Amino acid sequence: MLDFFASFWDFLVSMLLIFVWVGALIALFTVITDLFRDSGLPTWQKVVWFIALLFLPFLGSLIYLSARGKGMAERSAARASAVQAAQQEYIREAAGTSASPAAEIERAKALLDAGTISEQEYASLKAKALA
């Protein structure tokens, strides 16, 4: 019975160490990615940071995150908002709704005049175009 608990705790400790190791690798790769994407950092500083990360990955990652973490978060947020804006523009182009609200109301009025939609549907489309 004692052997089971010893091996169980060994298993838990091993899982914890693996979890920490994977987290450290993710942090290291995130730092390296941010390092290469940062256009405001001079090349020689990128080289120094990369060498520090190469020889002392855990300590280098911690120092980088504490020294440049705020800028890293700002760059990540700016990149995410740029991707989201590009995605929304692509969706508008693909859906064909990149026209002005006046053009959308005109198109809805044409559908109403043709009898394709009802007065309630026209009002709904008009409200959506003006929103």
- How many of the other CB atoms lie within 10 Å of CB of 41? 15
Res 107: pLDDT? 86
Res 96: pLDDT? 65
Give me the amino acid identity at 50. Answer: F
What's the residue count for the chain?
A: 131
| Residue that has been written with the tokens 């993710």 in this structure | 26
**pTM of the complete model:** 0.59
pLDDT tens across the length of the chain (131 residues): 556 667 888 888 889 999 999 999 999 999 999 999 888 889 999 999 999 999 999 999 999 999 998 989 999 999 999 999 999 888 877 776 556 788 888 888 888 898 888 889 888 888 888 87
Question: What residue spans define the domains of the chain?
Answer: 2-95, 99-131
Q: How far apart are the C-alpha atoms of 69 and 38, rounded to whole Å?
A: 12
Res 26: pLDDT? 94
Res 115: pLDDT? 85
